[in-house]
Amino acid sequence: MQEASPTGPVQLASEAWWANVLLEHFGIAASLTPLDGEYDLNFAVHQEGTRTHVLKVMRPGCESSLIEVQCKALNHVAAHAPEVVVPRVVKAHDGSHFVSARDQDGEERLVWLITNLPGRLYAETSPQPPSLLREIGATLAKMDRALEDFAHPALGRSIKWDLRRSGWVRDAIDLIEGDGRREIVERIISEFEGDLLGRLTALPTTAIHNDINDYNMLVDASTGEPRLSGIIDFGDMIDSPAVAELAIAGAYAVLGQERPIAALAALVAGYDSVRPLSDEELALIYPLVLTRLAVSVTNSAIVKREKPDDPYVTVSEQPAWSFLETNSSLPPDWVLACLRVSCGRPGHPRADAVMGWIASHRGRFAPMFGRDLNGIPVIDLSVASPASPRNPFDLDPDDLDDAVAEAMGDSDIGLGRYGEPRLIYTGPEFRKTPYAGSHRRTVHIAVDVFIDAGTEVRAPLDGVVHAVELRTSPLDYGGVAVLEHATPGGDRFYTLYGHLAADVVTRLSPGQTVVAGEVIALIGDRAENGGWTPHIHFQLGLTTLGRGADWPGVADPDESAGWMELFPNGAALLNLANKDTAAVTVATETVLPQRKKRFADNLKLSYRAPLTLLRGYRQFLFDQYGRTYLDGYNNVPHVGHCHPRIVAAAARQNRLLNTNSRYLHPAQVEYAEALTSRLPDELSVCFFVNSGSEANELALRLARAHTGAVGTIVMDAGYHGNTNTAIDISPYKFNGPGGRGAPDWVEVVPVADPYRGPYKGSDPEAGRKYADHVRAAVERIQARDRRVAAFICEIFPSVGGQLIPPPGYYRHAYEAVRAAGGVCIADEVQTGLGRIGTHRWGFETQGVVPDIVVLGKPIGNGHPIGAVITTPAIAASFANGMEFFSTFGGSTLACVIGREVLRVVDEENLQAQALDVGTFMLDGLRGLQDDHVIIGDVRGSGLFIGVELVEDRDTLKPAQKTASYIVNRLREHRILIGTDGPFDNVLKIRPPLCFTREDGSHLLHRLAAVLREEPCRI
């Protein structure tokens, strides 16, 4: 056991002394370093710099049987379960497993030697994913199976870490500081002393390790996926029920986990897959996990009394307390359901009997509303329903009324689905934390019937009133009743009727019998039903969770598997088929192969586990289960996904007219005026197109028309679009996979990268020096008897790695280009319209005015709009007789949307917000850079941010794999960011501008956690 000793510090002995003993008895010449040990001395044995063995020197007076049992058990496991990696016992010269040797004080000590196992401690492994826990569970089961026929007299000894002896904790509870904490332990131990101990001792016993804690498991994470590499320290072995092994391991498996019950379920499933657990064993696991943690924190309290000044004790008990404080009152039925489901069993032991009986009586239950419900309209309240809620963070009850009324049409009754993920549950009581992007409960685990307030509700079958209540909080059940029923075989189950009229509390009382078809309540109106559109929430339960009528009606999608087992689809009780009430949720596994079949391979998906997204709102996105994702990546929804003003403007215009630029419409000129008024005076003529690519194509045509030349200078790693000519000017594409190099009219200059490029940010002349490459490119063009048409680049290179060119670069570069007769094109597709915070446009930061500005993506907030804005002179050169027309470019709809985007940016002060939040983020990221050497550079302006990861801050070797790891891990934390740069080693953070400081600190907090994980350590 790792918990510190209450008996005081162990006696120290010199490494040299024991090295001599090792040589004398085992013939091994080695150096020793001390390891942690509670009562005994342990030494790591190093031979030629490699750790080969562990030398164990027992405390004086240690009984030899305690070593003998360990040696024999290790040999037994090695012989009977060779796939379970445990240390090998090395025999001494005399052939024995252990020898006796004197220590420096002349005391006899037993000494033995075992082989060293590879890997780092589980306690130091991060993350500890479900795959690892599953493997641990399976390995423990193999070990326990191997130990089934192992016997030794020492296994019968009495130790305080025997789970059956946990009652000793009661005498020490007073040492625990804090009333809340004492109560937790008190409650757990009372339950243990209740029926738990008796049930545990009724189980057969077998030899178990009995101390699978986080310091006794070794993990190898060198190949990416962490794998268990060994189990050590068999010093607490006893004969005990095998479930204790799993419960002890479980007590450590849950610590520090974001989803502790899922972690426990993975461990248990692994165990069950090798050594199937009985229903009783499964039921005992979680209560025993709690018991073990109660023992552990009580032991810490004892040690604290002994060593009041040892901060380590408080630190080491913290994970156990934090688990107990947040999880010790989780409903045990739900935890058990999760464990059972993970082992492929029905979530509740009575499930098959109850559901079988109900299904066989479908069609014979009394109609709840005195009528047949088959064929009534179904109301879609899923994530993909745009009707309700309009704001997924703040339900307007009128939205729901409207959605229901619209779906019901002429019908006076409608069905709401079971298992449907919905965004209508917007109150704080549905969220895990106050943060808007927090995990929340979305999955409806009941069936709804929408019908007028005042309608009579009848019991579908005989029952007894279990609970009746008026729950008056907003969005709660209002009037609610629970009936208890039993199958003819005596299997109990329950039905809940929520959102009833308040008078249900006078109609029914607990213990009252009701018969099938009897009116038990009336449907409540909004004033008495929690504030909802009138309906009944009808929920079938295999348990009441011991909570009367306080059942959860909605579940977190990540936890819904367990909840749906306890509260299954009650369609049969409404005489409906299950499919009539079951949710229809888009499955990523279905869409993915369809997509692969219909699209080419080079249409890429983000993330190893691709996301299906059905809804967006401001800086958040939602998947089909209603899980919220913080969008730190998408710059196209500049003012926010589905911004209500943009949605409204588009909807309004769609109802009026959407035609092309060949007709007059005030929206076109208004938009053009609004755009040009935000640009330098010289840039006064607009062309509207549909994409950044099309805009860059057009910009090149303008440049060529104006200069009569074709020579074009581009910046390395630049990207300007997917059309033929856009690719021709995009080194990111033509020099990338599948590219065919630069065409002969294109000259590439180095990317002006102050971190990785030839001239660093610290060089005050870096801007000019990079610009000299532009001058040289001009000369190369001229040397080929060509003239310069244009210099085009992303003002702040984005795919190049979120870069900010050094000051002076554009002034010098533009001078060189213009001196050669060329024009300067600024691609502001990524950076324009306030993103960089300090200025509206990137070029303003360097005090230059381009001849042509190209805009795209964000200006339409998702609507396809591209724009080219230039000088009257260049526009005149282009107007050479050939008509310019882009069918959708400058459509009425596009202009209305574009105009509204400009207004929203100004009216919501989004540029200032980008500066404020961006500065906050950059500061936070620089703080992380101080702690993590892998962060080579943090750069950016406003909400245009890059974090460059390197394996070595001197050689700048790109840490591309780590970047990909971080992005995928953050996706698991439900935060979207991307990677970019020529080596894909730059974290790209580029959210919608409505991103807040709270979002930023959430991102920083999660990023910090991921950076502490194994794959980010160098």
The smaller minimum CB distance to ligand PLP, of residues 626 and 721, is found at 721
- Length reported for the chain: 1018
Nearest to 851 by CA among 885, 819, 877, 874: 874
- Minimum CB separation from ligand PLP for residue 813, in Å? 17
Stretch 24-63 residues interacting with ligand PLP (CB under 6 A): none
* Helix 130-147 / helix 260-274 crossing angle, nearest 10 deg: 40
Helix (H, G, I), strand (E, B) or coil at 206: strand
Q: Output b/e per residue, 241-251; b: 16+ Cβ within 10 A.
A: bbbbbbbbbbb
Nearby residues of 633 by Cβ (< 8 Å), 6 or more positions away: 976, 977, 978, 988, 989, 990, 991
- Minimum CB separation from ligand PLP for residue 363, in Å? 56
- Minimum CB separation from ligand PLP for residue 383, in Å? 27
Stretch 847-906 residues interacting with ligand PLP (CB under 6 A): 856-857
Stretch 686-725 residues interacting with ligand PLP (CB under 6 A): 691-693, 696, 719-722
Do residues 751 and 803 make contact, with C-beta atoms less than 8 angstroms apart?
Answer: yes
Tokens representing residue 14 in the block: 């010199």
Site mask, ligand PLP, residues 498-537, x = CB under 6 A? ----------------------------------------
- Minimum CB separation from ligand PLP for residue 827, in Å? 5
Triad 388, 568, 478: Cα angle to 5°: 55
The smaller minimum CB distance to ligand PLP, of residues 513 and 722, is found at 722
Q: Does 798 bind ligand PLP (CB under 6 A)?
A: yes
Residue corresponding to tokens 């990268």? 753
With CB under 6 A as the contact rule, the residue among 125, 707, 830, 877 that binds ligand PLP is 830
- Minimum CB separation from ligand PLP for residue 826, in Å? 10
The smaller minimum CB distance to ligand PLP, of residues 239 and 716, is found at 716
- Minimum CB separation from ligand PLP for residue 627, in Å? 27
The smaller minimum CB distance to ligand PLP, of residues 509 and 724, is found at 724
The smaller minimum CB distance to ligand PLP, of residues 421 and 864, is found at 864
The sign of the torsion formed by the CA atoms of 160, 164, 169, 170 equals: negative
Q: Output b/e per residue, 620-657; b: 16+ Cβ within 10 A.
A: bbbbbbbbbbbbbbbbbbbbbbbbebbbebbeebeeee
With CB under 6 A as the contact rule, the residue among 135, 469, 623, 827 that binds ligand PLP is 827
- Minimum CB separation from ligand PLP for residue 863, in Å? 11
d(CA 1018, CA 1016): 6
- Minimum CB separation from ligand PLP for residue 565, in Å? 46
- Minimum CB separation from ligand PLP for residue 806, in Å? 20
Q: Give the CB-nearest residue to ligand PLP.
A: 692
Q: Which amino acid is located at 388 in the chain?
A: S
Stretch 115-134 residues interacting with ligand PLP (CB under 6 A): none
The smaller minimum CB distance to ligand PLP, of residues 465 and 897, is found at 897
Read off the DSSP letter of residue 308: T
Judged by CB under 6 A, the stretch of 144-152, 336-344, 591-599, 826-834 that binds ligand PLP is 826-834
Stretch 775-794 residues interacting with ligand PLP (CB under 6 A): 794
- Minimum CB separation from ligand PLP for residue 798, in Å? 5
Do residues 265 and 341 make contact, with C-beta atoms less than 8 angstroms apart?
Answer: yes
- Minimum CB separation from ligand PLP for residue 602, in Å? 15
Question: Distances in Å between the alpha carbon of 820 and those of 746, 788, 814, 824?
Answer: 15, 6, 10, 11
Q: Does 235 bind ligand PLP (CB under 6 A)?
A: no
Tokens representing residue 180 in the block: 């809340």
Stretch 719-778 residues interacting with ligand PLP (CB under 6 A): 719-722
The smaller minimum CB distance to ligand PLP, of residues 271 and 719, is found at 719
Question: Distances in Å between the alpha carbon of 683 and those of 680, 822, 855, 872, 1012?
Answer: 6, 17, 13, 8, 49
What element of type H or E holds 497?
strand 492-500
- Minimum CB separation from ligand PLP for residue 794, in Å? 4
d(CA 234, CA 251): 18
Size of the site for ligand PLP (CB under 6 A): 15
Judged by CB under 6 A, the stretch of 82-90, 420-428, 675-683, 824-832 that binds ligand PLP is 824-832
Pairing of strands 238-241, 513-514: unpaired
With CB under 6 A as the contact rule, the residue among 184, 313, 320, 829 that binds ligand PLP is 829
Residue corresponding to tokens 């324009």? 832
Q: Which amino acid is located at 587 in the chain?
A: A
Helix (H, G, I), strand (E, B) or coil at 866: strand
Do residues 38 and 7 make contact, with C-beta atoms less than 8 angstroms apart?
Answer: no
Nearest to 99 by CA among 22, 11, 29, 35: 22
Strand partners, 467: 482
The smaller minimum CB distance to ligand PLP, of residues 863 and 899, is found at 863
The smaller minimum CB distance to ligand PLP, of residues 440 and 863, is found at 863
* Helix 311-327 / helix 179-191 crossing angle, nearest 10 deg: 60
- Minimum CB separation from ligand PLP for residue 776, in Å? 24
The smaller minimum CB distance to ligand PLP, of residues 842 and 936, is found at 842
What DSSP assignment string belongs to 737-759?
A: TT-----TTEEEE----TTTSSS
Nearest to 700 by CA among 789, 828, 795: 789
The smaller minimum CB distance to ligand PLP, of residues 228 and 698, is found at 698
Do residues 465 and 510 make contact, with C-beta atoms less than 8 angstroms apart?
Answer: yes
The smaller minimum CB distance to ligand PLP, of residues 297 and 727, is found at 727
- Minimum CB separation from ligand PLP for residue 636, in Å? 8
The smaller minimum CB distance to ligand PLP, of residues 34 and 736, is found at 736
Judged by CB under 6 A, the stretch of 58-66, 246-254, 733-741, 825-833 that binds ligand PLP is 825-833
Q: Does 331 bind ligand PLP (CB under 6 A)?
A: no
- Minimum CB separation from ligand PLP for residue 1015, in Å? 29
The smaller minimum CB distance to ligand PLP, of residues 374 and 722, is found at 722
- Minimum CB separation from ligand PLP for residue 695, in Å? 7
The smaller minimum CB distance to ligand PLP, of residues 339 and 825, is found at 825
Do residues 25 and 36 make contact, with C-beta atoms less than 8 angstroms apart?
Answer: no
Stretch 925-984 residues interacting with ligand PLP (CB under 6 A): none
The smaller minimum CB distance to ligand PLP, of residues 583 and 636, is found at 636
- Minimum CB separation from ligand PLP for residue 862, in Å? 11
The smaller minimum CB distance to ligand PLP, of residues 142 and 720, is found at 720
Asked if residue 127 has a cis previous peptide bond (ω within 30° of 0), the answer is yes
Interface contacts to ligand PLP, rule CB under 6 A: 691-693, 696, 719-722, 794, 798, 827, 829-830, 856-857
